[in-house]
Amino acid sequence: MIKSVMLIFYARIVISSFEYKGGSPVNLFPSYTAVSQYQDGGSITNPAYLPLADNTYLHVSMDNPYSIDGLYSSNIAAGSSKGIYGYQFAWRRFGIREYMENIFEANAGIMPVKWISAGAGASYYCISITSGEISFKSRLLDYRGSVHVTPFSWLDFSYEQDNIISMIHGNREDLLYPEKRFGIALMPVRGFSLSWNRNWSITGTADYFSFETRLLPFLMLRGGYSREASTYAAALSVAYDNFILSYSVRYHSFLGITHSLGFTTCYNRVKYDNIDYYGSGKKNTEDIRSERVNINTCSEDELKKIPILNDGLINRITRHREIIGPLSKKSLSQIGLTGKDIDRLMDFVFGLVEDKKEWGNKNEKKGMNKTRGGSGAKGISLDARKRIFEGLIKAGLSANLSLIISEAAIKGDRKQLINVIHTLPELTEARKKEIIKICFE
C-alpha cells in the first residue's frame, strides 16, 4: 500500500508539484484564487488584499484531504494591516510521513489610493520523499505579484502571477509552474457577493464560481463550484468578539470529502458587514434615518452597533472628534476607511461636516509657530491641529500615529511635542525630523 501511495505522490511531482495549497476553510478550494475574502485576515492568499484586512490576526487551520487516513494539511498565518500597508507570514504543510510539502510565505501589500492596491510575496518550497526505495529532496524559492482594483464600490478585479522566476526561467516548470489567476467579484447588495476566478496551471485552465453572504454581523456563509476541479464546497464562519471559528466541507466527484476547521484570533473586534434586510437596496429613507446616528455626536456604544466598524476604527473616530474635530468624508478616508466602506457607512450614520479646501484663515501659518489666542487654554487652534494632522497623513504616517502627535500638539508646548515624537519607536531619526518640520512649519 505504501509503495503504491509513494508512486502516486512521485508522479504528482512530475505533473503538478504543490498543487494542494492549504488555507482557511473559507477559501473553499484547494487552489489559491485571485479574488480573496479579507474580513478574516487568515483567509487572504492574494497579497494585494492585505491592506484591506484592517486588523492584526493569528490564524490556524487543518484539514484531512479527501478523508484519506494519515494525509493532513495544516496552515498557520499571522499578519497585520495598518493604514495603507499590510503584511502576512504563513506556513503551509501537506502530506504524510513519507511524503511532505512545506511552504513558507512572506507577503506584503500597499494601497496608495483607495481604489487600487498591489502586493508581492516570496515563497520557499520544501519537498521531501523518504522511503526504502525513493529518496528525494528539493528546496526552491520563488516570488509572486498581484494587483487589486475597485473601480466601483460594487465591483472588484484582481490579477495574480505566481512563481515569477519559473516564468522567466522555464527549466523548472515541472516543479513550480508559473500559475496565473484572474478574478472578478460583484457586490449587488450589501452583505452579498458573487465571484468568478480563472486559474491557469500546469493541468490546464480551471474556473471557480462562488458566492458569499454575511447573514448577520457574526455569521457568514460561502459556497462554490468548479467543473474542471470536479469540486463542490461550502463554508460557515462565526465571529464572536475577537475570534472567528470557520468550518468547510468540500466534495470531489472522484476523490471524496474534505473537512476543514479553522480558528482566527484578532486584535480588534470582528463584525461582518451583513446583508441588507430592507430588501435589494430599496429602503424606506425615513425609517433608516430614524435609526441612523449622528457620527459626530453619538456615543461609543452606538458606534459599536454599526456592523462595518471594528474597535480600531471606532477608536480612531472618537479620538479624531476629540483631537481634530468633526468628521467629514475626507477625514473618514484619512483614518482608514475605503470609499466602499464610507458608502456603506452612510446607511448607518449622518451628520458629516462638509469638506473644505482650506481650514481657517489662508494667511494663518500651518503649524504651531502661530498665535495661540484662537484656542484659549487648549494652546493651538483647532484649525492648526487639523493642518498638522492632514500634513502627517499626506507624509505617509498612519492615522494612529498622526492622532498621537496631533493630541500632543494641543497644548502648544513645543518641547513637549518634540519629546513625544522622539519617544515613538516606529519612526527613524530622519522621519522624526521630517515630522517635527511638518508640525512647526
**pLDDT tens column, 162-179:** 999 988 887 777 778 899
Whether residue 186 has pLDDT greater than 90 = yes
Percent of the chain with pLDDT over 90: 32
Higher pLDDT, 245 or 424: 245
Least confident of 127-131, 266-270, 287-291: 287-291
Whether residue 406 has pLDDT greater than 50 = yes
Please count the other Cβ atoms lying within 10 Å of the Cβ belonging to residue 373. 7
Whether residue 249 has pLDDT greater than 50 = yes
For residue 404, name the pLDDT band (cuts at 50, 70, 90): confident
For residue 8, name the pLDDT band (cuts at 50, 70, 90): very low
- What is the reported pLDDT for 10? 43
- What is the reported pLDDT for 309? 84
Rounded mean pLDDT of 302-322? 86
- What is the reported pLDDT for 379? 57
Rounded mean pLDDT of 13-33? 69
- What is the reported pLDDT for 368? 52
**Grid-cell match 433608516, residue found:** 288
Full set of structural domains in the chain with CATH? 2-266 (2.40.160.40), 283-355 (no CATH), 357-441 (no CATH)
Whether residue 376 has pLDDT greater than 50 = no
Rounded mean pLDDT of 261-290? 67
Mean pLDDT, the chain, integer: 82
For residue 341, name the pLDDT band (cuts at 50, 70, 90): confident
- What is the reported pLDDT for 411? 67
- What is the reported pLDDT for 213? 93
Higher pLDDT, 85 or 210: 210
Rounded mean pLDDT of 182-196? 92
pTM: 0.67
**Grid-cell match 502627535, residue found:** 405
- What is the reported pLDDT for 30? 84
Rounded mean pLDDT of 266-272? 83
